[in-house]
Amino acid sequence: MTDSQKPRILMCPADYFGIEYEINPWMSVQKGTDPERSSAQWKALHQTLVDLGVEIDLMEPVKGLPDLVFTANAGLVYHDLFIPSRFRYKVRQGETPRFEEWARSRGFRIVELPAGENFEGAGDALFCGDALFAGYRFRSDVQSHQWIGERLGVEVLPMELIDPRFYHLDTCFCPLAPGVAVYYPGAFDEYGRSVILDRIPTLIEVRAEEAVFFSCNAVVVGSTVVLNQGAPKLTADLERLGYQTRALDLSEFIKSGGSAKCLTLRIDGEEAANWKSAATPS
For 207-249, the pLDDT digits (tens) are 999 999 999 999 999 999 999 999 999 999 999 999 999 999 9
Element (H, E) at 238: helix 232-240
Q: Domain 3-266 is of which CATH architecture? A: 5-stranded Propeller (3.75)
pLDDT digits (tens, 9 = 90+) for 125-149: 999 999 999 999 999 999 999 999 9
Separation between Cα atoms, residue 21 and residue 152, nearest integer Å: 34
Distance in angstroms (rounded) separating the CA atoms of residues 78 and 242: 28
What percentage of the chain reaches a pLDDT higher than 90?
92
Q: Over the stretch 58-96, which tens digit does the pLDDT of each residue have?
A: 999 999 999 999 999 999 999 999 999 999 999 999 999
Query: Under 8 Å CB-to-CB from 105, ≥6 apart: which residues?
Result: none
Tens digits of residue pLDDT in 187-200: 999 999 999 999 99
Tell me the whole-structure pTM to 2 decimals. Answer: 0.95
Q: Is 12 a catalytic residue?
A: no
Domain range summary for the chain, segments of one domain joined by +: 3-266
Check 12, 172, 216, 262 and give the catalytic one: 262
Q: Which of 128, 145, 168, 174 is catalytic?
A: 168
Contacts with 13 (C-beta within 8 Å, 6 or more apart), sequence order:
39, 42, 58, 61, 69
Distance of CA 226 to the CA centre of its chain: 13
Has 262 been annotated as catalytic?
A: yes
- Place 5 in a pLDDT band, splitting at 50, 70 and 90: confident
What count of residues does the chain have? 282
* Residue 1 scores a pLDDT above 50: no
What is the identity of the amino acid at 111?
V
Looking at residue 278, its pLDDT comes to 38
What residues have CB less than 8 Å from 5, skipping those under 6 apart? none
Note whether 176 and 147 are within 8 A (CB): no
